[in-house]
Amino acid sequence: MMFVIRTQFMENYGAHDWDGKGACPQHWKFKGGSEYKITGVDPTADPEDYINLADVEHSSDYAREYVLSSSFEEDNYLSAFEKSQLEYDGEIIYPEPHLSWKEMEAQVLFGGTSMIFNREAKELA
């Protein structure tokens, strides 16, 4: 079983010419997104726990990425992007970001990063 987190990425085109003084101009454009896969999960766990530990959301004056949806999927799940690669190229050259739950949990417990988005993991309470 895997847990899939679907995100939306946006870029602020208003920030391209911003000199850093005053308020940043706002001109946001949608730029696609990703499906982050966490394999080897417990389907009875709270989905919010996986979303929080994956730490895939971020926001700045220049760009933002946020969670659109999430779901538990079978181990053979492929995103639309991966399916299109198989259909047109015969292989998946650019897989969606993925990490096993055991790898992710070990990194959080030992103070590393989540590796999915390469940011420091949130401290466990």
For the chain, what is the mean pLDDT? 84
Token pair 């499906």 is found at 35
Question: What is the pLDDT at residue 94?
Answer: 93
Which secondary-structure segment (H or E) carries 33?
none
Question: What is the pLDDT at residue 111?
Answer: 58
pTM of the model: 0.79
pLDDT in tens, 10-26: 999 988 888 888 888 88
Residue 65 vs residue 17, higher pLDDT: 65
Asked whether the predicted pLDDT for residue 116 surpasses 70, the reply is: no
For the chain, the domains span 2-18+26-109
Tell me the residue ranges of DSSP E strands in 1-125: 2-12, 28-30, 35-39, 58-59, 63-73, 98-100
In percent, how much of the chain has pLDDT > 70?
Answer: 86
Q: What number of H helices and E strands is found in the chain?
A: 3, 6
Kindly state the DSSP code that residue 95 receives in the 8-state scheme.
Answer: P
In this structure, the number of other CB atoms found within 10 A of the CB of residue 75 comes to: 9
Question: What is the pLDDT at residue 7?
Answer: 94
pLDDT in tens, 81-106: 999 999 999 999 999 988 888 887 77
Mean pLDDT of all residues in 55-73 = 91
Mode of pairing for the β-strands spanning 35-39 and 98-100: parallel
Closest CA to 8 of 79, 61, 58, 77: 58
Q: Quick check: 3 and 70 in contact, CB under 8 A? A: yes
Question: What is the pLDDT at residue 84?
Answer: 97
Token pair 């420091």 is found at 120
Kindly state the DSSP code that residue 120 receives in the 8-state scheme.
Answer: B
Asked whether the predicted pLDDT for residue 30 surpasses 90, the reply is: yes
The distance in angstroms from the start CA to the end CA of the chain is: 27
